Amino acid sequence: MKITAVQTVVVNAIHRNWIFVKVLTDQPGLYGWGEATLEWKTRAVCATIEDLEPFVIGEDPTRIEHVVRRMTGFSFWPLGAIGLSAVSGIEHALWDIKGKALGVPVHDLLGGRVRDNVAVYTHLRRAKIGAQVPTSDVNAFCDAVQETVEMGYNAIKLGFVPYTGYTAPLPEIRHVEKLAHAVRERVGDGVEIMTDFHGRPDSVEAARAYIDAITPIKPLFVEEAIQPGDVGAMAELARQVACPLATGERLFTPREFADLAEKRAVAYIQPDLAHCGGLTGGRKIAAIAEAAHMGIAPHNPMGPVAGAVALHFDLATPNFVIQEEAVGLVPWFRDICTQTYPLDMQNGVWGVPDAPGLGIEIDEAEAARHPFAQEEIPALEAILPDGRIANW
């Protein structure tokens, strides 16, 4: 069996363009789907997939590690977020092809499932664009949280922290504390709450002030309390607070995660399988984390193929904890797929798919109804009161 072509199908989902990758083979009707979505870098990722195509044409798609090494090793330059997202999308499709060729779901190829379902969490109102509520209105925010939980979720991730800098003003700390307590009181102790700082604090001290305000509600974790990449600062912060920390959506290589593990800098890591080299990279990262007693909570606010990849990974990964999803991002999220769709959530969990491969197919006719368009970029609003650009 040989790879004959690599194609991209771009679908505009308002705040991001989903980049679906279709790898074709010389076997009639046998192809695979992957996803290489990277916010606001659509043109660059699609062009990089074209640049990588010569490295994979003519190769056996079932030799997945070998094909990945062709893309990474022959590229010479470190690939970074754009390059590794392109690699990841192609890599996903290889697993899909192999599973289809053998007639088994991908989680069987990963050693078999170690659990019977996958716990998931969502965002406010399932991340539906245009349905968010400002944190300034505590009652309305709590109403939206309750509405989300009543959709069947047992866990939710929220943004409590404002755009900030090197200091955390006392009025802001007080408001975050009030908001967090109100949310916990509204949903009770049976719902896991996570909060994403998005790396907004520019200092360990500012991050610590907000974490201390949130800690009494016992969040499962605080995500990206500071910008990623400074393992020493993250480890220092972890020693100063009484709340589990998480990071990893903007880290890409096993080496980066090994640094976190060696310093015990966080309790949970969050690799994104659409950016870290796919299942090949994700499995290596998970093993590093397991050796350091760290749980794994994969990042994934993207499209349905990325969700399917995460589902198979989670089923076969012993130190998996909980999976991010954003299936409410656009009202037609489900429609972009054919009848094969493994991401139906019931009672806060995804079930076990048994279809060959990833168990998901993109309806290309439906996809064509949502062609590439310049995304709406919410990060452009991240401005501090004095006019300085903040971390979104």
Active site residues: 198, 299
What are the start-end ranges of the H helices in 103-203? 106-109, 138-149, 170-187
Spatial contact of 329 and 301, defined as CB atoms under 8 Å apart: yes
The closest of 16, 21, 22, 37 to 81, measured between CA atoms, is 37
One-letter amino acid identity for 34?
G
Distances (CA, A) of 191 to 56, 222, 348: 45, 15, 10
Token pair in block for residue 390: 């903040």
229: alpha, beta or left? (left if phi > 0; alpha if psi -120 to 50): left
Q: Running DSSP on this structure, what letter comes out for residue 59? A: S
What residues are paired with 195 via a beta bridge? Answer: 158, 222
Q: Are strands 221-223 and 192-196 parallel, antiparallel or unpaired?
A: parallel
Q: Running DSSP on this structure, what letter comes out for residue 38? A: -
CA distance 108 to 104: 7
One-letter amino acid identity for 23?
V
